[in-house]
Structures are given as structure tokens and as C-alpha cells.
């Protein structure tokens, strides 16, 4: 088994994830895994970074596929005895002008952004090594969507005692409510992406609390962040940040030094803690 530290970035064949891998290859003392659901897109991305003189490794990972997540988990356990850095970056967003019915958009978006990310956490958090760092890439869209929720929902999502099961129930209810066209009446905002990222931010707050309760002595730090508005296929060419600039906050959180006791359980943008 290798004693080399190891970092994994989900959805890193392009966009912000690709830039996070690039930065980690330069700054992280250990093996860095670029992962992609499509192996050929992944290998192409690895080759691009190799041309820059960097040496990422590759592993397939589709966060919508439990078998794929478990194969990565088993590989990491066997080869490294665990994981040091996890960046949950993979995500999707329908374009504003997409005419897919809202209920379908809700189901598909939540499936990857919330349920897929949660499944990765369920499988990989137990193998995080002491002093591990976990970064969940959320979005400022989670804060604005929270503002668009009913007072009752806001209270639930801001609660310091909400459980993961309760959050899953709420995310499932959102999808069901969109299918019945009652989501607005039920207090939800009109944004599937925003609600999926509420899920990611709240999940991060819950997971950080669980780490405090169950693994206090392990000094693992887990946070959610927004990368900013970044020029990628998702956000388009008008966005203000380059992918490398978008990678800065996630990389800062991924590389928090071993003597840091925070941030933990926070939502950050531009390396600054934001109120939730
Ligand atoms: P992007 O360019 O569209 O890249 C998304 C990445 O996620 C791609 O590598 C994509 O792979 C991958 N992915 C999608 N579904 C996946 C799955 N089921 N399993 C594994 N990988 C999957 O988007 P981006 O702008 O870099 O976004 C990265 C993260 O930042 C997302 O979580 C996004 O919500 C968040 N974010 C972005 C912005 C922004 O302005 N760009 C702002 C706030 C937050 P394929 O190539 O196979 O599709």
C-alpha cells in the first residue's frame, strides 16, 4: 500500500474541476486524480495537463452510478488505505433557455448535484484520513435560492439540528412537488439548480457537524464553496472569472494546512466565509 497522500476531484475533465486538478498538481504533495464519467474525455484531459509538464493520474467516476463510486472507493482503500483530499466538483445545470419541462429539470439536476454528490460522500467520507480536507462545490445560487424559499423552508435549511435523512426527504419532496406542479405553493423557489445547491450547502453543514460528533480527533475540515462566476461550458463566455481563478477558493479549502482548525462546516466564496 502506498503511503503517498492522495487527492480526488470529481468531474474534472473540463471547467473548474480541470483547473482544480491543475492547481493541485502544482501545490499538493501527493498523487492527484483527475476523474471523469467518460474515460476518453478523462484521458484527453490528463494528456493536456501532461503537455503542461504536470502528472495527474486518472480514475473513472460517474457520480450518478453507485457502482462507479464504489469501484473508486475500493481502489483508494486498496492502493492508499484511504483518501486525503476530496473535491466534490461534478455538477450540471440546464441552460436558462432549455425547454425541458421543469419537473424533468428538477429530477435530473437533483439526481447529479445533490444525490450524486451525497452518494460520493457516503462512500468516501468514511475513508478520509486524519487531517483530510473535503470541499463541496456549491454556488451562490444556493444562497439566493434559500432567500426564495418560504420562511418555514428557510428555517429548516438554516437549522443546526437538521439531519441528513430530513434533508434527503426535503430534496425528494421538491422533485415530487415539481411533478405535481405545486412546488411554488409548497414554498419552493423556481430554480432546480438553486435548490440542488441548497442541498449541497446544507449537506456540507450536516456532514461537518457529524465529523465533529464522530471523528473530532481526526482534524478533518469540510466546507462548501462558490467558485464565482466562471467561464466554462456551464456558465458561458461572459462570466467574469477564468477557470484557474474559479479554482482558487476550492483549492484554498483543499489545502488548508494541518494546523488549521477552520474553516469547517462553512460556506465560502472568494476565500471568505459567507453567512447562510
Ligand atoms: P462544466 O464546465 O459543465 O463541468 C462540469 C463537470 O462535471 C464536467 O467535467 C462534467 O463531465 C462533470 N459531470 C457532470 N455530471 C457528472 C457525473 N454524473 N459524474 C461525473 N462527472 C460529471 O461546469 P463548471 O462550470 O466547471 O462547474 C463545476 C462546478 O462548479 C459545478 O458543481 C457547478 O455547479 C459549480 N459552479 C459553477 C459556476 C460557474 O460560473 N461556472 C458557478 C457556481 C458554481 P462531462 O464532461 O462528462 O459532462
Copy the grid coordinates of residue 146. Answer: 434559500
Residue 150 lies in a domain: yes
Catalytic residue among 33, 80, 131, 193: 193
The number of distinct structural domains making up the chain is 1
Residue 1 lies in a domain: no
Q: List the residue whose alpha carbon is closest to atom 41 of ligand 1.
A: 230
Q: List the residue whose alpha carbon is closest to atom 42 of ligand 1.
A: 229
**Which residues neighbour 108 within 8 Å (Cβ) at sequence distance 6 or greater?**
92, 94, 100
Residue 197 lies in a domain: yes
Which atom of ligand 1 is least distant from the CA of 37? 20
Among 69, 90, 235, residue to substitute to test ligand 1 (most atoms within 8 Å of Cβ): 90
Which atom of ligand 1 is least distant from the CA of 93? 34
Percent of the chain with pLDDT over 70: 100
Q: With 0.95 as the threshold, say if the pTM is over it.
A: yes
Residue 102 lies in a domain: yes
> How close is the Cα of 259 to the center of ligand 1, in Å?
31
pLDDT at 142 over 90: yes
pLDDT at 1 over 90: no
Residue 35 lies in a domain: yes
For residue 195, how far is the Cα from the chain centroid?
14
Q: Is 33 a catalytic residue?
A: no
Question: What does the pLDDT look like over 168-219, one tens digit per residue?
Answer: 999 999 999 999 999 999 999 999 999 999 999 999 999 999 999 999 999 9
Question: What does the pLDDT look like over 119-128, one tens digit per residue?
Answer: 999 999 999 9
Question: What does the pLDDT look like over 45-93, one tens digit per residue?
Answer: 999 999 999 999 999 999 999 999 999 999 999 999 999 999 999 999 9
- Residue 157 lies in domain: 6-274
Residue 55 lies in a domain: yes
* Domain CATH code at residue 138: 3.40.50.720
Amino acid at each position: 500500500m502506498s503511503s503517498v497522500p492522495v487527492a480526488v476531484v470529481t468531474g474534472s475533465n473540463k471547467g473548474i474541476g480541470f483547473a482544480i486538478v491543475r492547481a493541485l498538481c502544482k501545490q499538493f504533495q501527493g498523487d492527484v486524480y483527475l476523474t471523469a464519467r467518460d474515460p476518453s474525455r478523462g484521458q484527453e484531459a490528463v494528456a493536456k495537463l501532461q503537455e503542461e509538464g504536470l502528472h495527474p493520474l486518472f480514475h473513472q467516476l460517474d457520480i450518478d452510478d453507485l457502482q462507479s463510486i464504489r469501484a473508486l472507493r475500493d481502489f483508494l482503500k486498496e492502493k492508499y488505505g484511504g483518501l486525503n483530499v476530496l473535491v466534490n466538483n461534478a455538477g450540471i445545470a440546464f441552460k436558462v433557455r432549455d425547454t425541458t419541462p421543469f419537473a424533468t429539470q428538477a429530477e435530473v439536476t437533483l439526481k447529479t448535484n445533490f444525490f450524486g454528490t451525497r452518494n460520493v460522500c457516503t462512500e468516501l467520507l468514511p475513508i478520509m484520513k486524519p487531517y483530510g480536507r473535503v470541499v463541496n462545490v456549491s454556488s451562490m445560487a444556493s444562497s439566493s435560492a434559500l432567500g426564495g424559499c418560504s420562511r418555514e423552508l428557510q428555517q429548516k435549511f438554516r437549522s443546526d439540528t437538521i439531519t441528513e435523512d430530513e434533508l434527503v426527504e426535503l430534496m425528494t419532496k421538491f422533485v415530487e412537488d415539481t411533478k405535481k406542479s405545486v412546488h411554488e405553493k409548497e414554498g419552493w423557489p423556481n430554480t432546480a439548480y438553486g435548490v440542488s445547491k441548497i442541498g449541497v450547502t446544507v449537506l456540507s453543514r450536516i456532514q461537518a457537524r457529524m465529523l465533529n460528533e464522530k471523528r473530532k480527533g481526526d482534524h478533518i475540515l469540510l466546507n462548501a464553496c462558490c467558485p464565482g462566476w466562471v467561464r466554462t461550458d456551464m456558465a458561458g463566455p461572459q462570466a467574469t472569472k477564468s477557470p484557474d481563478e474559479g479554482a482558487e477558493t476550492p483549492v484554498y479549502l483543499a489545502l488548508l494546512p494541518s494546523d488549521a482548525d477552520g474553516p469547517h462546516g462553512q460556506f465560502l466564496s472568494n476565500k471568505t466565509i459567507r453567512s447562510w
